[in-house]
Copies of this chain bind each other. A is one copy, B any other.
Amino acid sequence: MSTDDAPAPPTEADLLDATWQQVTPEAARRMLIAAVQAFAQRGYHATTTRDIAALAGMSPAAVYIHYRSKEELLFQISRLGHELALEVLRGVADSEDGPAARMAAAVRAFARWHAEFHTTAKVVQYELAALSAEHHAQIAALRRRTEALLRGMIADGVTAGVFAVPDLTGATLAVLSLCIDVARWYRPGGRRDPGQIGDLYADLVLRMLGAA
């Protein structure tokens, strides 16, 4: 094997390690990553704390050393996951490109994130209903910021006369919906890799917004 082959695509484990690097100590991170995998595959309610502990290679009681409850584990995943997704959009929002290029970059990055980190994204986007009322309210606030960021980018394009959008709120809803739903249908090893999905969606959205 030569050393100058194209780099192998990162494994699922690599991606999860990178995603959750900030969680410490290491045992708490291992437990959280195990929970993300189990929640994504089976859903929150179908996952037992014994499943999570076994995936993390520890005893069932070890869950409660680092987390108060199974719901608290979901909340930490959801909170940090939403912040990561928000960061992806913010990284693009500050660019000095024109509104159309910036919007294309935002959709490309956001859709791509939902494919590449689909395991995390599935939990973040589809397990909200299992959160307690207090935790759900905190997450809802983060989601409103995401929506506002995207709406602002579309509004800028309209103001600049680059986009032709009869219904700003409706268009924002549709763009957000399109990107989020990637986490539902994406399968690794499918015909499109995450980068290609980002490119495809950036193009489709620009047309949807009537970009000049």
**Which of A's residues lie within 8 Å of B, judged by CB?**
42-43, 45-46, 126, 129-130, 166-167, 169-171, 173-174, 177-178, 180-182, 184-185, 191-192, 200-201, 203-205, 207-210
* Cα–Cα, bound, A184→B2 (Å): 48
* B208 touching A129, Cβ below 8 Å: no
Per assembly, the copies of the chain total: 2
* Cα–Cα, bound, A72→B181 (Å): 27
* A177 touching B174, Cβ below 8 Å: no
Given contacts A167-B200, A169-B191, contact A126 B129 (CB under 8 A): no
* B208 touching A204, Cβ below 8 Å: yes
5 contacts between A and B (CB under 8 A): A43-B130, A177-B181, A178-B178, A181-B184, A208-B208
What distance in Å separates the Cβ of A196 from its nearest Cβ neighbour in chain B?
A: 9
